Amino acid sequence: MDKHQAEKRLKELRLLLEDYGYHYYVLDTPKVPDSEYDRLMNELLQLEADYPDLVTEDSPSVRIGGPPAPSFKKVAHRVPMMSLSNAFNEEDLRAFDRRVRQAVGEHVSYVCELKFDGLAVSLTYENGKLVRGATRGDGTIGEDITNNLRTVPAIPLRLKQPYSIEVRGEAYMPKASFERLNEAKEQAGEEKFANPRNAAAGSLRQLDPKIAAKRNLSLFAYSIGEVEGKNVQTHFDSLMFLKELGFKVNEEAAKCETIEDVIAYTEKWSERRHELPYEIDGVVVKVNSLADHEKLGFTAKSPRWATAFKFPAEEVLTVLRDIELNV
């Protein structure tokens, strides 16, 4: 493809991704499967890497999430809520590991966590008391959904120790609650939610907290934005600390000493994801040492100390299984 063709294709891709992003992040009703969005985003990233002078400031490749809806009060995140770089196969994971070791040395170890398919939220506690809950929004400005988040039973309203802390986690709808909700919607002749992620996001971005209260939502806490008066050295220790404070922390989080262990973890959960009572769309791999996080830093959009391994798209898997079975 020559530069002129690349410019034309980039324009098309940006328009498509903007439109899909708007439906996904703002309206909570995706137009296409995630795999299609990811495929187009990868094509965009590749073209921008081939023609760096064609990168624009407003390209979907440099944007996080979507803008906050005008119906909610806006919340500025003191520490930005970023996106994650993606890995789609073993080679991408090995390349991530090489980049990390080049930057911080050979001693590195990782924490693997499930990538819950819900909505990223920020919870601010002052002296142990929940004072604010917000969506990620565009990473810098989110929506104030405190009253909705207060209805989620897994979110402590008061911590077990009176810390002032900003906690991040994934709000989600368990599969069973999602199925019940869609059955009820069908009986009422209402439009069903596309998936549990959209159902969770749609429930939390309602103005009436009674709706969120009825939706059986839950939350896994997965990181600390900032904390006063507590010194934590590793990501794994932050998870343990969050648990001590009273948060629900996912039991499958595991320390992995090498990239081989990380790959084994992604393979295990790629096979077993359907056994879980909630949806996951991959595995998040994070460098364990927080001092290494400092050294690695961030790109415009995501930390260099983490990556999200995405499972192969389900629809592709179904086709492959059908081919294998000759049906």
Q: Is position 136 annotated in a ligand binding site?
A: yes
Q: Which long-range contacts (CB under 8 A, 24 or more apart) does 230-236 make?
A: 230/163, 230/165, 232/290, 233/289, 233/290, 233/291, 234/111, 234/288, 234/289, 234/290, 235/111, 235/286, 235/287, 235/288, 235/289, 235/290, 235/293, 236/111, 236/288
Applying CB under 6 A, which part among 48-56, 112-120, 199-207, 234-242 lies near ligand NAD?
112-120
What is residue 302's three-state secondary structure?
Answer: coil
| Span of 72-80, 109-117, 206-214, 255-263 interacting with ligand NAD by CB under 6 A | 109-117
Nearer residue to ligand NAD within complex by CB, 156 or 169: 169
- The alpha-helical segments, DSSP class H, found in 143-234 are 146-149, 175-187, 196-204, 209-214
Query: Least distance in Å: CB of 143 to ligand NAD?
Result: 14
The distance of closest approach from Cβ of residue 34 to ligand NAD in the complex, given in angstroms and rounded to an integer, is 3
CB of 272 to ligand NAD, least distance (A): 16
Q: How far is the CB of 162 from ligand NAD (least distance, A)?
A: 26
In sequence order, what are the residues at sequence separation of 6 or more whose Cβ sits closer than 8 angstroms to the Cβ of residue 248? 154, 218, 219, 220, 221
Contact mark string toward ligand NAD, 15..34, x via CB under 6 A = -----xx--x-----xxxxx
Active site residue 115: yes
Binding span for ligand NAD by CB under 6 A among 110-118, 198-206, 231-239, 270-278? 110-118
Q: How many angstroms separate the CA atoms of 40 and 59, rounded?
A: 13
Binding mask 76-95 for ligand NAD (x = CB under 6 A): -------xx-----------
In this structure, the chain runs to a length of 327
Site for ligand NAD in 169-198 (CB under 6 A): 170
Distance CA 144, CA 148 (A): 9
Between CA 290 and CA 15, with CA 120 as vertex, the angle to 5 degrees is 110
Q: Looking at 8, 73, 74, 115, which residue is catalytic?
A: 115
Interface pick for ligand NAD out of 10, 13, 28, 37 (rule CB under 6 A): 37
CB of residue 81 to ligand NAD, shortest distance in Å = 7
Taking CB under 6 A as the criterion, the residue among 212, 284, 285, 296 binding ligand NAD is 284
Binding site for ligand NAD (CB under 6 A): 20-21, 24, 30-34, 37-38, 64-65, 83-84, 113, 115-116, 120, 136, 170, 222, 284, 308
Residues known to be catalytic: 115
